[in-house]
């Protein structure tokens, strides 16, 4: 069975060109970039090139790019560093809808004597900017807010939020793991101090991430040891991963327009046609500004895992905000923070597209999903009541 | 992805006996939209009103909930009511070739719907309570006192599931019943129930006193912290220290493993729920970092 992969916010296919770029750096060009000999030196030059490519995508300067092992490491490093830089400050601000990479760390900080404020969102997942303004104070060490939400694709006004944080002397970090490669980012025209990205979300392999560190931003390393990454992140460079990420960023720059036109058009067609034929559904964050590739739709009276497994039978890969898929018992914290009613929070399905998504694949989902929802509603006591009431 | 057996997959993809029986003799309904799964079971009896001749179901829930319901309807057909009542949730899971432990609550839901349907048919209207919880009761006909407020699960029901499935940890109880899977505030009470059922030394559930002087209240808070709460934390390598009591405000500091534990956000809430249950309703627990 050929897969129809619409779960690109979970991870992406490694682009063939990216794989070709990294391939020689395993068995042939395996030198350590820190070595003095020519054999390491040629890898070092390729790592430098990759750093330039990542910087170019972000509108950053190459010395502001620090390679890490993943987005989660970048998030951890940013927040921990801020707390070490400002030992007297005991307040951290984040949002209720962050990825666990940020949220778990912040919640753990409450046990270490920090005040942690989680800013709320409205029914469409938009950040409460007034609450943010009222919450930042002189005691705030860092404000960490995601650029775009992984479940709904809702985009936060991070520049505006950064200005609010900076005005009170706090550092500003953004988890941009879902945003990089999908929307244009220009750090040269930004106030953001730190930004996390992850390679496997933009067609590079898993196991490579970046923490962007604005020049002049005070930083205390999370990983200590050798002198790599200008003493900011110890550990032998994942040279093949770095080289792959460089290529992926170069391609992301080239495909940015396509991502915002073609992919957006496919996404819009998918959600519009599904909404037109399936009653009692709602787009999570539908009124907010969203990533061009993501749509999360909540279907009343049915449960997400059942939908996903029926889709999976047809080769369609998506994800759900349902409790049952994660092994937790409550639906996604993002949907709950948005106040999505329980009647449909359990039945939320996220489709996340990529530049590899085709018209035919979208056609298949538009054809196959409505009967799946109808079938599960027919099986559900609440769905049957609803269908009966409708006549 | 869950590792479902081929039988679970088959019953999910091709569920048997979906629908309703308009002239059903017995109907059992458990679960709710809020809880994330619900089952409505219909039974039709033979002329002697003894044997189950037909069974139908409607289920809102995940693949294993649908498969468990389908399996249940197949299992009860041809059985007498007493034979059907003897079916345990483990037998439903076994029929399906097993369920992931995290999904055992689906088999429990099936067994429970069957029990509710038969009890109602026999006129044993189980007492209902005016439950105070967030989601509405999962098992509205279940007698007892609500333990898990998030999912509306009672002590009587928990004890039954603990006993029939020989559960020994709170995680298992959560997997089988969902209780404790929300805010986690009831986990200490679940531990007590496990001890009661499996340890064989029953305890009378304690009630909070009607009225307390300030001095008595402070004494009781200290007593509950010492005897009920700290031993639970010790079991997980943690601890807490009472810092101050100011009226209804109780300040505690977490120590050892609790300081910096991933789930410790729930611990303060657990302490509060416990103190509210056993001392006074208006108690507020504040975590301090002294």
Spatial separation of the C-alpha atoms in residues B229 and B219, rounded to whole Å: 15
| pLDDT the model gives residue A305 | 92
| pLDDT the model gives residue B217 | 86
Residue B68 has pLDDT above 90, yes or no: yes
pLDDT tens by residue, A246-270: 999 999 999 999 999 999 999 999 9
CB proximity B95 to A under 8 Å: no
Is B58 in Cβ contact with A384 (below 8 Å)? yes
pTM greater than 0.90:
no
Confidence of residue A330 (pLDDT cuts 50, 70, 90): confident
- Of the two residues A267 and B130, the one the predictor is more confident about is A267
CB proximity B13 to A under 8 Å: yes
A369 Cβ neighbours under 8 A, 6+ residues apart: A274, A278, A307, A311, A349
Chain A residue numbers with beta carbons less than 8 Å from the beta carbon of B61 are 303, 306, 324
pLDDT tens by residue, B103-115: 999 899 999 999 9
Is B174 in Cβ contact with A113 (below 8 Å)? no
Chain A residue numbers with beta carbons less than 8 Å from the beta carbon of B287 are 110-111
CB proximity B117 to A under 8 Å: no
Residue B142 sits at φ, ψ, to 5 deg, of: -80, 130
- Of the two residues A241 and B279, the one the predictor is more confident about is A241
Mean pLDDT of chain A: 95
* Closest chain A C-alpha to B127 CA, distance in angstroms: 24
| pLDDT the model gives residue B268 | 83
| pLDDT the model gives residue B148 | 86
Residue B157 has pLDDT above 70, yes or no: yes
Helix (H, G, I), strand (E, B) or coil at A274: helix
CB proximity A327 to B under 8 Å: yes
Catalytic residue from among B35, B150, B186, B258: B35
Chain A residue numbers with beta carbons less than 8 Å from the beta carbon of B264 are 108, 110-111
Spatial separation of the C-alpha atoms in residues A345 and B61, rounded to whole Å: 12
pLDDT tens by residue, A79-98: 999 999 999 999 999 999 99
Mean pLDDT of chain B: 84
Q: Name residue, tokens 């912290």.
A: B225
Residue B197 has pLDDT above 60, yes or no: yes
Residue A362 sits at φ, ψ, to 5 deg, of: -65, -40
Residue A151: both structure tokens together: 């479940």
| pLDDT the model gives residue B128 | 43
Residue B133 has pLDDT above 50, yes or no: no
Beta-bridge partner residues of A282: A298
Confidence of residue B269 (pLDDT cuts 50, 70, 90): confident
Spatial separation of the C-alpha atoms in residues A45 and A33, rounded to whole Å: 8
State what percent of residues in chain B have pLDDT above 90.
36
The secondary element (H helix, E strand) that includes residue A80 is: helix A71-85
How is residue A21 annotated by DSSP?
Answer: H
Q: Which CATH number fits domain A4-10+256-390: 3.90.1150.10, 3.40.1400.10, 3.40.50.300, 3.10.105.10?
A: 3.90.1150.10
Catalytic residue from among A27, A70, A317, A324: A324
Confidence of residue B232 (pLDDT cuts 50, 70, 90): confident
Q: Which of B9, B60, B63 to mutate to test the interface with A (most CBs of A within 10 A)?
A: B60
- Of the two residues A65 and B171, the one the predictor is more confident about is A65
| HEC letters along B158-203 | HHHHHHHHCCCCHHHHHHHHCCCCCCCCCHHHHHHHHHHHHHCCCC
Confidence of residue B264 (pLDDT cuts 50, 70, 90): low
Beta-bridge partner residues of B129: none
* Closest chain B C-alpha to A231 CA, distance in angstroms: 28
| Nearest chain A residue to B60, by CA | A380
Identity of the residue in B38, B66, B260 whose CB atom sits nearest the CB atom of A381: B38
Is B151 in Cβ contact with A329 (below 8 Å)? yes
Confidence of residue B241 (pLDDT cuts 50, 70, 90): confident
- Of the two residues B245 and A185, the one the predictor is more confident about is A185
Confidence of residue B132 (pLDDT cuts 50, 70, 90): very low
Our CA angle for A77, A78, A80, nearest 5°, is 65
Residue B127 has pLDDT above 50, yes or no: no
**Arithmetic mean of pLDDT, A32-50:** 96
Is B12 in Cβ contact with A306 (below 8 Å)? yes
Spatial separation of the C-alpha atoms in residues A319 and A334, rounded to whole Å: 14
| pLDDT the model gives residue A1 | 86
CB proximity B150 to A under 8 Å: yes
Spatial separation of the C-alpha atoms in residues A226 and A209, rounded to whole Å: 19
| pLDDT the model gives residue B136 | 46
| Nearest chain A residue to B177, by CA | A329
**Arithmetic mean of pLDDT, A58-64:** 98
CB proximity B21 to A under 8 Å: no
Confidence of residue B215 (pLDDT cuts 50, 70, 90): confident
CATH architecture for residues A16-252: 3-Layer(aba) Sandwich (3.40)
Domain residue extents for chain A: 4-10+256-390, 16-252
CB proximity B190 to A under 8 Å: no
**Arithmetic mean of pLDDT, B165-180:** 87
Residue A313 has pLDDT above 90, yes or no: yes
* Closest chain B C-alpha to A309 CA, distance in angstroms: 8
Chain B residue numbers with beta carbons less than 8 Å from the beta carbon of A324 are 36-37, 61-62
Identity of the residue in A309, A342, A378 whose CB atom sits nearest the CB atom of B33: A342
Residue A326 has pLDDT above 50, yes or no: yes
Is A384 in Cβ contact with B34 (below 8 Å)? no
Please, what's the b/e burial string for A74-109 (b: 16 or more CB within 10 A of its CB; e: otherwise)? bbbbbbbbbbeebeebbbbbbbbbbbebbbbbbbbb
ipTM, interface predicted TM-score of the complex:
0.89
* Closest chain B C-alpha to A88 CA, distance in angstroms: 15
Q: Is A344 a catalytic residue?
A: no
Chain A residue numbers with beta carbons less than 8 Å from the beta carbon of B73 are none
Residue B199 has pLDDT above 80, yes or no: no
Confidence of residue B287 (pLDDT cuts 50, 70, 90): confident
Among residues A101, A93, A122, the alpha carbon closest in space to that of A337 is found at A122
Is B102 in Cβ contact with A382 (below 8 Å)? no
Domains of chain B: 6-121 (3.90.1010.10), 126-205 (1.10.10.1100), 214-287 (3.30.300.130)
Residue B104: both structure tokens together: 């055992």
The secondary element (H helix, E strand) that includes residue B117 is: helix B104-121
Residue A115 sits at φ, ψ, to 5 deg, of: -85, 130
* Closest chain B C-alpha to A223 CA, distance in angstroms: 20
| pLDDT the model gives residue B260 | 60
- Length reported for chain A: 391
| pLDDT the model gives residue A328 | 63
A75 Cβ neighbours under 8 A, 6+ residues apart: A99, A101, A102, A105, A144, A173, A175, A196
| pLDDT the model gives residue B203 | 52
Residue B290 has pLDDT above 70, yes or no: no
CB proximity A388 to B under 8 Å: no
| pLDDT the model gives residue A329 | 65
Residue B98 has pLDDT above 50, yes or no: yes
**Arithmetic mean of pLDDT, A206-233:** 96
Spatial separation of the C-alpha atoms in residues A323 and A305, rounded to whole Å: 8
| pLDDT the model gives residue B140 | 54
How is residue A117 annotated by DSSP?
Answer: E
CB proximity B41 to A under 8 Å: no
Helix (H, G, I), strand (E, B) or coil at B279: coil
* Closest chain B C-alpha to A329 CA, distance in angstroms: 6
């Amino acid at each position: 069975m050929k897969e129809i992969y619409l779960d690109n916010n979970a991870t992406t296919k490694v682009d063939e060109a990216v794989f070709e770029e990294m391939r020689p750096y395993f068995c042939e060009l395996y030198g350590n970039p820190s070595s003095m000999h020519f054999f390491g030196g040629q890898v070092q030059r390729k790592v430098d090139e990759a750093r330039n490519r990542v910087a170019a995508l972000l509108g950053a300067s190459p010395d502001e790019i620090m390679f890490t092992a993943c987005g989660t490491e970048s998030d951890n490093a940013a927040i921990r560093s801020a707390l070490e830089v400002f030992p007297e400050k005991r307040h951290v601000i984040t949002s209720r809808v962050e990825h666990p990479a940020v949220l778990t760390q912040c919640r753990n900080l409450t046990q270490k004597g920090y005040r942690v404020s989680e800013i709320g969102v409205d029914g469409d997942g938009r950040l409460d900017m007034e609450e943010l303004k009222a919450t930042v104070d002189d005691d705030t060490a860092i404000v960490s807010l995601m650029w775009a939400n992984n479940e709904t694709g809702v985009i936060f006004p991070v520049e505006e939020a950064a200005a609010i944080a900076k005005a009170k002397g706090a550092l500003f970090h953004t988890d941009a793991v879902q945003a990089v490669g999908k929307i244009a980012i220009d750090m040269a025209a930004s106030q953001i101090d730190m930004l996390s990205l992850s390679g496997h979300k933009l067609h590079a392999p898993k196991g490579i991430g970046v923490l962007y560190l604005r020049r002049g931003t005070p930083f205390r390393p999370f990983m200590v040891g050798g002198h790599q990454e200008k003493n900011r992140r110890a550990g032998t460079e994942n040279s093949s991963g770095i080289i792959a990420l460089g290529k992926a960023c170069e391609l992301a720059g080239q495909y940015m327009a396509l991502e915002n036109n073609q992919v957006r058009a496919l996404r819009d067609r998918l959600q519009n046609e599904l909404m037109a034929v399936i009653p009692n559904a709602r787009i999570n964050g539908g009124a907010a500004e969203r990533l061009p590739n993501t749509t999360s739709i909540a279907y009343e009276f049915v449960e997400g895992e059942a939908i996903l497994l029926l889709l999976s039978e047809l080769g369609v890969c998506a994800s759900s905000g349902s409790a049952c898929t994660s092994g937790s018992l409550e639906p996604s914290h993002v949907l709950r923070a948005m106040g999505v009613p329980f009647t449909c929070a359990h039945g939320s399905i996220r489709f996340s597209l990529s530049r590899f998504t085709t018209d035919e694949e979208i056609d298949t989902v538009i054809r196959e999903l409505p009967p799946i929802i109808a079938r599960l509603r027919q099986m559900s006591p609440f769905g049957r009541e609803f269908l009966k009431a409708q006549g | 992805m869950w590792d479902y057996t081929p039988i679970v997959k088959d019953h999910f993809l091709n569920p048997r006996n979906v629908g309703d029986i308009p002239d059903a003799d017995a109907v059992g309904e458990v679960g709710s939209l809020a809880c994330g799964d619900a089952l409505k079971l219909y039974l039709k009896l033979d002329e002697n009103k003894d044997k189950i001749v037909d069974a139908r179901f409607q289920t809102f829930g995940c693949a294993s909930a649908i498969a468990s319901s389908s399996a249940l309807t197949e299992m009860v057909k041809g059985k007498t009511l007493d034979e059907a009542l003897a079916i345990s949730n483990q037998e439903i899971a076994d029929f399906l070739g097993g369920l992931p432990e995290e999904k055992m609550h689906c088999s429990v839901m099936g067994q429970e719907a069957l029990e509710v349907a038969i009890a109602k048919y026999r006129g044993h209207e189980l007492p209902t309570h005016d439950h105070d919880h967030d989601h509405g009761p999962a098992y509205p006909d279940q007698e007892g006192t609500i333990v898990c407020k998030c999912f509306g699960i009672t002590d009587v029901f928990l004890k039954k599931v603990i006993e029939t499935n020989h559960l020994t940890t709170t995680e298992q109880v959560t997997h089988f019943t969902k209780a404790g899977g929300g805010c986690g505030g009831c986990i200490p009470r679940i531990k007590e129930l496990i001890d009661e059922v499996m340890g064989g030394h029953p305890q009378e559930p304690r009630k909070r006193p009607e009225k307390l002087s300030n001095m008595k209240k402070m004494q009781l808070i200290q007593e509950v912290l010492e005897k009920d709460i700290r031993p639970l934390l010790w079991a997980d390598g943690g601890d807490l220290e009472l810092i101050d009591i100011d009226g209804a405000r109780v300040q505690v500091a977490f120590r050892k493993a609790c300081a910096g534990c991933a789930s410790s956000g729930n611990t303060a809430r657990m302490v509060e729920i416990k103190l509210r249950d056993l001392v006074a309703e208006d108690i507020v627990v504040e975590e301090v970092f002294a």
